[in-house]
A = this chain, B = another copy of it.
């Protein structure tokens, strides 16, 4: 059994607590949360501490807090030479205080409080400072996911920026699609199968090969009609810029 302590109570922390609690090879030792209340539905009350200085011994401490406070939290830990990891896509490994053996345990997925996630499909990106710690982290990762990768801090940066494009920005395009529908009294439901199919295609086909639409076929009259039809400035600007980017297809402009 590997003994794990989770530090944090946000989305990622809660998903990890839920999944580790079900695992037969992981023992959830403790959870640190500033407030006790928010977590009692997930973990026994006596396992929750609101005092960072009360942490018991564990094989692995997972700091799942916002990027800005990872460093400060890791500094406050009153022990050393133990395995301490964070879950951030952006923070480098050395954001963590050097008194402990450092690592990263980054689940590359989007978590919402209101939607459960099949964790076995969530890619886990692992990094450890010391080679001998990698086996421990890998054991933990493989006990909850079928998709485990060794990723350096440098590679993680690339993944995180790319994730902003394919998740945050894509979701914003969905929002714009919905706004256009609402403005013209059409149900956004009609577009949902298209959204699903667009995502499904990318599993097996190349994005460049499946690109269609007015930008791709240089259909300037449709592009002009669309720009004329849009009423919101942000929508017009995004339409123009992405159309240009598709037409230039990677060439600098």
Question: Which residues from chain A sit less than 8 Å from chain B, CB to CB?
Answer: 67, 90, 108-110, 112, 114-115, 117, 121-123, 125, 147, 149, 151, 154-155, 157-181, 183-188, 190-205, 207-216, 219, 222, 225-226, 229-230, 232-235, 237-239, 241-242, 244-246, 248, 250, 252-253
Instruction: With both chains docked as a complex, state the minimum distance between the C-beta of A237 and any C-beta of chain B, in angstroms.
Output: 6
Q: Are B196 and A203 in contact (CB under 8 A)?
A: yes
Q: For residue A178, which residues in chain B have a CB less than 8 angstroms away from its CB?
A: 162, 207
A159-B190, A191-B166 are known contacts. Are A172 and B207 too (CB-CB below 8 A)?
A: yes
Nearest neighbor of A151 in chain B, beta-carbon distance: B186
Q: Are B212 and A168 in contact (CB under 8 A)?
A: yes
Which of B112, B161, B174, B229 is within 8 Å of A226, CB to CB?
B161
Instruction: Give Cα A174 to B190, complex, Å.
Output: 22
Q: For residue A239, which residues in chain B have a CB less than 8 angstroms away from its CB?
A: 164-165, 169
Nearest neighbor of A246 in chain B, beta-carbon distance: B172
